[in-house]
Amino acid sequence: MPSVLWILFDGGGDRPSGGKTPFYVAFKPTIDYLTSLGSCGVLDPISPGVRPGSDTAHLALFGYDPYKYYTGRGAFEALGADVQLKPGDVAFRTNLATVDDSGTVIDRRAGRYIAPEEARAVEKVLNKIGEEVGRKYGVEVVYKSTVEHRGVLVLRGAVSHRVSDTDPHKVGAKLLRSEPLDNSKEAALTAEVVNEITRRFSEAAKELEINKTRRLEGRLPINAILLRGGGYMPQIEPIKERYNIKAAAIAGVALIRGVARAVGMDVYTAPGLGGTKDDKFDEALKLAVELMARYDLVFLHVKGTDSTSHDGDFNGKVSVIERLDKSLAPYLDKLLSNYLVVTSDHATPVSVKEHTGEPVPIMLYGPDVVTDDVAKFSELTCWRGALGRIRGLDVMPILGSYLGLTEKFGE
Ligand code: ZN
Ligand code: ZN
């Protein structure tokens, strides 16, 4: 049984500068060889002109309408941090921060460095506060620290994501009170719970041993938690049921791991794949090829193309693409008898340093896929290909059809 390897360059799409794009310039003989044998096209991740976030774009690419399933980043971030979520749970992204006596934010990241043992100490305090506040309001509260100052706060019970952030999103502004954004009693209760946890944490922080040490060392205390991006965990039919495709994802970025997990993919990590611009892909591709024996679809997320784009680093972006291709080369024979998809989740032009709404190139290779006359994978060439112009939501049905796994529509 053939299976699909799907390589996604996050923010890989670009606009021509000096007539060229990173995909066009990059030396990527393996991807280009398979491109010459397969079909190319352009892809609107959501729909023409919509500037996607990585989360909404991935939902669409995995075959789930983001307008139906996306309720904010928090839930996916929490899933990506290995927090178990149930449908209806509300999750926030959090920052540990420093505020002054008047509640004005001095540093949104509490000096940027938080040691793992400090994060664990905060986790303990916040979960204790969560337990007490939760008991009072009849909800379950879980806090989990993720990377450095970041974490997730999950509320379970009669709660709602329709509340405002407490994060003012800038220094020099006051820590905000969360307000309900609709008239439901769930939103009112959620805002109360959030505000009480926020207040109690700032109080408890005064007595925290780690803060005494941090002060002695001249470091900023951790004395506030900022919440943003509240979202609830939607009820999502797993990808195996919806498309009859058994899928795995390899990703280092928590948000992408979370989206993949939310749609029922098995999620893997690989050494070297931390989600940075310096990632190495040898181990990730080795794992991907191994997994192809057990899965119909193996998705590999490459973050570096997006990070370099946000930095405006054209050469860095080219280098990420070239490194990936080099690590892919040993598997050419294996790929020739399977399927390969290469695309992006959105364009992040290095000239703009932000996500933009134009389509991105896509290629599909397979032993039985039409060969068109495009021999180079890039924004400038894929327009001429046999796939034409498709949307993110079209990808899974196309793959399901080639794999012979989808049901016929009608008789
Ligand atoms: Zn992205
Ligand atoms: Zn980005």
Digit-coded pLDDT (tens) for 176-186: 999 999 999 99
pLDDT at site 225: 97
pLDDT at site 97: 96
Confidence band (pLDDT; 50, 70, 90) for 411? confident
Q: Tokens in use for 144?
A: 């989990």
pLDDT tens digit sequence for 192-207: 999 999 999 999 999 9
Cα 278 to ligand 1 centre (Å): 17
pLDDT tens digit sequence for 309-324: 999 999 999 999 999 9
Cα 10 to ligand 2 centre (Å): 7
pLDDT at 112 over 90: no
Q: What is the C-alpha separation between 354 and 310, in angstroms, rounded?
A: 6
pLDDT at 92 over 90: yes
Q: What is the mean pLDDT of residues 15-36?
A: 96
Cα 408 to ligand 2 centre (Å): 37
CATH of domain 77-231: 3.30.70
Distance (Å) of CA 101 to CA 104, 109, 226: 7, 17, 16
User: b/e map of 306-322 (b: 16 or more CB within 10 Å)?
Assistant: bbbbeeebbebbbbbbb
Superfamily of domain 4-67+236-403, CATH level 4: Alkaline Phosphatase, subunit A (3.40.720.10)
Which ligand neighbours the alpha carbon of 9 most closely? Answer: 1
More reliable by pLDDT, 30 or 411: 30
Q: What is the mean pLDDT of residues 247-256?
A: 94
Cα 367 to ligand 1 centre (Å): 29
pLDDT at site 147: 80
Answer yes or no: are the C-beta atoms of 231 and 91 closer than 8 Å. Answer: yes
Two domains, one topology: 4-67+236-403 and 77-231 = no
pLDDT at 216 over 80: yes
pLDDT at site 276: 85
Q: What is the C-alpha separation between 382 and 403, in angstroms, rounded?
A: 23
Q: Which sequence spans correspond to the domains of the chain?
A: 4-67+236-403, 77-231
Answer yes or no: are the C-beta atoms of 367 and 2 closer than 8 Å. Answer: yes
Confidence band (pLDDT; 50, 70, 90) for 148? confident
Helix, strand, or coil (residue 84): coil
Q: What is the C-alpha separation between 68 and 73, in angstroms, rounded?
A: 14
pLDDT at site 26: 98
Cα 300 to ligand 1 centre (Å): 13
List phi, psi (to 5°) of 177.
Answer: -90, 140
pTM given for the model:
0.89
Q: Tokens in use for 22?
A: 């990173």
Confidence band (pLDDT; 50, 70, 90) for 149? confident
Cα 369 to ligand 2 centre (Å): 31
**One-letter amino acid identity for 402?**
Y
Which ligand neighbours the alpha carbon of 352 most closely? Answer: 2
Q: What is the mean pLDDT of residues 332-350?
A: 98
pLDDT at site 113: 82
Residues lining ion ligand 1 (Cβ < 5 A) are 10-11, 54, 306, 345
Which ligand neighbours the alpha carbon of 11 most closely? Answer: 1
Q: Tokens in use for 242?
A: 């919806």
Q: What is the mean pLDDT of residues 280-293?
A: 98
Cα 356 to ligand 2 centre (Å): 10
